[in-house]
Structure 1
Amino acid sequence: MAFTPNKAGQRLTAGGMNLNDMIGATVFRAIRGSGQSITSGTEDVANAIQWDTVDLDLLGAWSAGSATRWTVPMAGWWRLDGAVSFVGVTSPATPGTLRDALWYVNGATVSAGRARSFSGTIGTSPMTVEARSIPYLLNAGDYVQLIPLQNASISVNTGTGTYAPFMAVTYAGPAS
């Protein structure tokens, strides 16, 4: 559904919303239901989570043709929430020391978009790491991606089921 703001005095209808009424509304939610292989190394847009289950897309801002991206439909403040889970690694004997998730906008890292990388001894259990929940000023046409990172020296799949990676976008307010 395309978003068209109502004019002053215009009656709200099922096809239209007032921007003020949208503040605080979650407009997008997606999960990665099947495991996605994440290569070992540095953060890389090639590892961006490819959303395969979109539960909510009120503004029609996601396309299966660009499955890693949520494209901003209008300028404003948007709150980004998301997490990536990794399955446990049993081989190699050293499963790496880093698991992370961070936000990219237009293919580049976001200032303050990383929460806390998990570094240290990583066991064989699944692990979920969150990207920082952050309000961010975005322009129409910008695109947002959730980027996972791990250093197990082998590719590691994302979790599934209750461990599935997710991304949610909430409208936080107008740009000015």
Structure 2
Amino acid sequence: METFVGLRAGAAEHCHALFRVRTSFDDVYMAVIRSNYGNEERAVVEVERERFFALWRRDPQGSHAAYADGSMLTWRVDGRFDLATEGFSFGEYDPVPLAEVRCAGGETPWVALSDGVIRTVWLAAHGASCFPVECRVDEAPRLARHAGTGAHKWRRVAELIPVAPA
């Protein structure tokens, strides 16, 4: 994976996989944490911004349509945008969590975000061409095929973080 940096010990002795995302703002850092369960069922997919947003715009519920269809001008009016700027400013020692997404649909796949909407539009607004997201393992192949970076395959959280720290 292009954005994967490696493993880091985090707060409360949790190990996390660290990712560096290049933006016009600066390099910013994101992470996924190994939990006590479900690491085999959670996956990280590195997505291309434009392909990802195209899938997000197809969300039949349209719960975040204003963000998926938005622009820098519309995103900045959300008060949480500045909070994302602050969150990303802490760097690799306090990385922000990956956005959590669902990728569904058969011949016409779509994406919905369950967590991380503002982080995702912040990355887009700051020119990130690709970034990692978290999804269910059974949805990872579809997401990688339709929005992935191509040469980089998705990985289970359990593969990225093989064992919890002792």
Higher-Rg member (1/2): 1
**TM bucket normalised to smaller:** under 0.3
With structure 2 as the length reference, what TM-score do the two structures score? 0.25
Whose helix proportion is higher, 1 or 2? 2
